[in-house]
Structure 1
């Protein structure tokens, strides 16, 4: 049952990641991968909320592992950062790393605080 919940969550998260990435990136004429940053920060926020509220193993599998696991993308972040660095845009690569890590941690922290407030 757990594997099925993860698969359902991933089936929702992966297309949402792709569509969000394309929509966000189309609005920016920049070397920075804003679409990947957006989905990673959104996933961090949601995981923070999930950790703070009393969620059972089924919800954690569906939303945390499945949905957020497919929505966020460490591999694309790594690829895009490496592509920037190899393409001579080292400052953009460094900015991507610093911005992604800082924003992801801030979003997870904010999500956790929001989840605690919602849980009462």
Structure 2
């Protein structure tokens, strides 16, 4: 049917323009998926970094004596030491799996 009256070039041009549009949209979708994966994989590290920066920043703003005012620790200020870091990382890793499953669980409850 296409070979009738030498319409091959016209259909080839149409097919090429449609394919170019399709490829540009596929590239956009692939870039979106890639960006989503980068954000998804970096989120735990960004959350940990934000937590540690906030903790350290609050110590610097309030001073070391703010921990001494509370009855939580009698005389020792609360520093960011390796023990706190490792315990925090461990607790965040324990929370990671339930938080990953939370959206799927909510959608299952809604359905």
- TM class by shorter-chain length? 0.3 to 0.5
Q: Which has the larger radius of gyration?
A: 2
> Greater RCO between the two (CA within 8 Å, min separation 6)?
1
TM-score normalised according to structure 2 size: 0.35
TM-score normalised according to structure 1 size: 0.33
